[in-house]
Structure 1
Amino acid sequence: MNTKHDKIATRLAIILTKLNNGERLSIDSLADEFNVAKRTIQRDLNERFSYLPIKKENSYYFLEEYCLGKLNYGDIKSFASLSGIKNLYPNLDDSFIVDLLNSKINQTYLIKGYEYEDLSSKTKLFELINIAIITNQTINLTYNDKQRALNPYKLINTDGIWYLSADENNQLKTYTVSKISNLTTTSKTFKPNKEFEDIITQNQDTWFSEDATEVTLQIDKKVKEYFIRRELLPHQKIIKQDDNLILTTTVSYEDEILKIVRYWMPHIKILQPTYLQDKLLKDLKTYIDS
């Protein structure tokens, strides 16, 4: 980075530190401190920091309370550098910086894989969910043809599929983002349940629901080592090992286990419940015939 951009990044880092510490800043005082024009500071606050939840009251700028103190020095330096030189690199757009910032502020995202389904058509929905998670706002949406009111906790990506972990009627559940529609935010706020937060953070499962189904699977010898080496399924328990592997898993949503079985076919078979294996075969036949 050249000297000019070094100075920009340094100025932005200092301003961001002040905001992070809860200071109320004026354009005049910042212009004097950094010996730059007022329009430069206005550009910093209104353009370079447009991704930040900055409020203006009278002549003072300050950070929304829910963000205060959530960034460390390394984070501030990184964000300031990105903001200062993003015009040099087209890929460093505001949405990229927003994702970085939001993931640090409240860890709204939990990634458990390396690939991502294409949800470009759901960009606005993602933004609304992300804001609702940060501000602890209740959201209304349609899911499986039912209108629901949810308290959102985290967006989770597992093996490329995005899910929303949320509280519905005091039950922690998981919703496939691609199936969510008609989402709106409300003025109602909620106090996060610490128990739910711990479950989401510590649990290796993606799916939560008040209803759970135990599924018994047969894994053939060609792929069984993958399942022995690590738990690829929620609550995975190995029942029997010989040429093949028999194991059980407990899931909350049948569609999710069916997705996994389809991925590993023809090396995996559902033994119990039998209706799930029947459903799988029926779906495959429909797909082949179409």
Structure 2
Amino acid sequence: MQHDKLATRLSIILYKLNQGERLSVEELAEEFGVTERTIQRDLIRFSWFNLKKENKRYFLSENEVGKLNFTDIKNFAIFSGLKSLFPSLSQEFLKNIIEEKMKKAYIINDSGFEDIVSKKDLFENLSSAILNQNKISFIYNDKKRELSPYKLINTNGIWYLCALESNNMKSYSFSKIKNLMVYSEKFKLDEKVLEKIEEGSVNFLSKDLKEVHLKIDNSAKEYFLRKKVLQNMKMVENKDEYFIVSTNIAFDDEILNIVKYWLPYIQIIKPLELQKKLEDILKDYLKKPNI
């Protein structure tokens, strides 16, 4: 039986451990249809559980078996499987993530590409402010903003902060946030606003969403569609050699990062200026001296 999704595989492995099973790398590789090296990497993700090893089998100590419920297992697998979405995850921060309260801080729509490791402290401080409902301020586009933070949203691999500014819901590219200040003053969460965010977070990312059309080679079709790489994706055209999809984005980097990841199987056909922007980025990259 093959489980091609990392989060699913991790959930099942951790469930087995929590049931007191002693797991063999070879047997797990055969069960999930992956290499033994892949399973070994999976087990490394569970190192903070203090896994034991005996006779080439991995297991939890008796005093740890059965302490995790299904929700804990599922949440750990999701966040561990999507670890690249987050900046450097400390053990303490990872443990906090799987607690029920931490789910209030994030919406994750897809796997990530944006490198925000250098802003680990900013990410954690924003997360804390959201959870504790602390008012904040920061510099964004050279202007000071005073806000009530609601959610950190990852859409198409890019992190955004969704927050109320002067009673208007706005979104802010995480990578552009500077000089964060977290205040002791609290704000009252508007449940109706929160509900709208969670029902369709992408709609809050910009009042002026841009429609993008992508031409994708059919050799990547099955994986691209199965992984649901794009949010709000619609099939526009389906040919023998390629297919065309449309999606809406708030910022160019959302789609540029995805297209760069899927080269050479993908091309931006609308708007053309976005394809040109991508080509310029690639040309600049190729001009760089070898490192």
TM-score tier, shorter chain, comes to 0.5 to 0.7
Distance in 2, matches of 1:105 and 1:134, equals: 7
Within the candidate set 82, 106, 130, 2:127 is matched to 130
Residue in 1 that maps onto 2:278: 280
Q: Does 1:175 align with 2:136?
A: no
Residue 146 of structure 2: aligned partner: 149
% of aligned pairs identical? 39
Which of 128, 136, 145 is the equivalent residue of 1:139? 136
Task: Measure how far apart 1:285 and its partner are.
Answer: 0.8
Residues 269 and 116 from structure 1, CA distance in 2 versus in 1: closer, same or farther, beyond 3 angstroms?
Answer: closer
Whether the aligned pair in 1 keeps the contact of 2:152 and 2:160 (CA below 8 Å) is yes
Cα RMSD (Å) of the superposition? 3.3
Opposite residue 234 of structure 1, the aligned amino acid is Q
Q: Residues 209-248 of structure 1: matches in 2 within 5 Å?
A: 209-229=206-226, 231-242=228-239, 243-248=241-246
Report which of the two structures shows the higher radius of gyration computed on alpha carbons: 1
Determine if the alignment matches structure 1 residue 252 to structure 2 residue 266: no
**2:205 corresponds to which residue?**
208
1:142-201, Cα deviation, whole Å (9 max, x unpaired): 234443223211234457654333233444444343332200023543332334322333
1:116·1:157 contact (CA, 8 Å) conserved in 2? no
Q: Unmatched 5+ residue regions in structure 1?
A: 1-72, 79-90
Is contact 1:207-1:253 (8 Å) kept? no
Q: Give 1:258 shift.
A: 1.0
* Partner-residue secondary structure (3-state), 2:119: helix
Report which stretch shifted further, 213-222 or 154-163: 154-163
- State the aligned residue count: 203
Q: Is the 8 A contact 2:237 2:245 kept in 1?
A: yes
Q: Structure 1 168/216 Cα, relative in aligned 2: closer, same or farther at 3 Å?
A: farther
- CA change 1:269–1:138 in 2 (3 A) is same
**For residue 276 of structure 2, what is the amino acid of its counterpart?**
D
Report the CA distance shift for 1:160/1:249 in structure 2 as closer, same or farther (over 3 A).
Answer: closer
Which residue is equivalent to 1:86?
none
TM-score with structure 1 setting the length: 0.58
* 2:245 alignment partner AA: L
Offset at residue 237 of structure 1 (A): 1.1
- Asked if 1:107 is matched to 2:104, the reply is yes
Unaligned runs of 5+ in 2: 1-66, 73-88
Which deviations, in whole Å up to 9, do the C-alpha atoms of 1:121-141 show, x marking residues without a partner?
433323321221123222111
Q: Which moved more, 1:106-115 or 1:241-250?
A: 106-115
